[in-house]
Amino acid sequence: MRFRIVVTIAAFFGILGSPVFPIATVSAQQPSRNETLISAAREIMEASRYAALVTVTESGTPRARMMDPFEPDSQFVVWMGTNRASRKVTDLLRDPRVLVYYHDPGGAGYVSIEGTARLVDDPVEKDRRWKEEWAGFYPDRAATYLLIAITPVRMEVLNYRLGVMGDSITWEVPAVEFQ
């Protein structure tokens, strides 16, 4: 999987002081730049117990709800569990575009992932991705428990503790585009 880091020209020319990331397409020659953003994002995602999942309603209105996601996998796919009768499932069947938002519990940073969701009803996958504390929400787990797999398209990362910051003038946040 290839990633591209998007950063402003101001950061490249040092208007912010020392540049955080140069403008470049990350390739085999520059894996550390990409890994810095990915690592900063993972730190926040792992520290956040919950994340907000935003779907699009039939009328086009965004709808957010608190979720208890699994840590992203090696391809940065985010997995979540839900009830198959929920409104989010209805929203996702109509429009799979989503946003997942993680707030840094230790600071003012965040991770925002734009992606495409798919519903997964595979029993093996559902057994792999289960949290025992969810048992009360799914009395008939086989019939009601469903997975959501969110494949990232774009991710913004702001992690002040690690020096991953937005542009001081435009506030544009460093981003990874998944290809």
* Single-letter amino acid, residue 121: D
Query: For 147-158, what is each residue's pLDDT tens digit?
Result: 999 999 999 999
User: 0.85 cut: is pTM over it?
Assistant: no
On average, the pLDDT of the chain sits at 85
The residue to which tokens 């086989």 are assigned: 142
Query: For 81-100, what is each residue's pLDDT tens digit?
Result: 999 999 999 999 999 999 99
CB atoms within 10 A of CB 5: 22
Give me the percent of the chain exceeding a pLDDT of 90.
72
The residue to which tokens 């209805």 are assigned: 90
At CB < 8 A and 24+ separation, what contacts does 4-8 make?
4/176, 4/177, 4/179, 5/33, 5/34, 5/37, 5/174, 5/175, 5/176, 6/174, 6/175, 6/176, 6/177, 7/172, 7/174, 8/167, 8/170, 8/172
User: What are the phi and psi torsion angles at 164 (to 5°)?
Assistant: -95, 100
pLDDT band, very low/low/confident/very high, at 21 (cuts 50, 70, 90): very low
Q: What is the mean pLDDT of residues 51-63?
A: 97
Q: What is the mean pLDDT of residues 164-176?
A: 90
The residue to which tokens 């003012």 are assigned: 108
3-178: in CATH 2.30.110.10? yes
pLDDT of 9 over the 50 cut: no
Strand duo 175-178 + 145-158: pairing: antiparallel
Closest CA to 92 of 116, 67, 113, 112: 116
**Which pLDDT does position 1 carry in this prediction?**
52
pLDDT band, very low/low/confident/very high, at 35 (cuts 50, 70, 90): confident
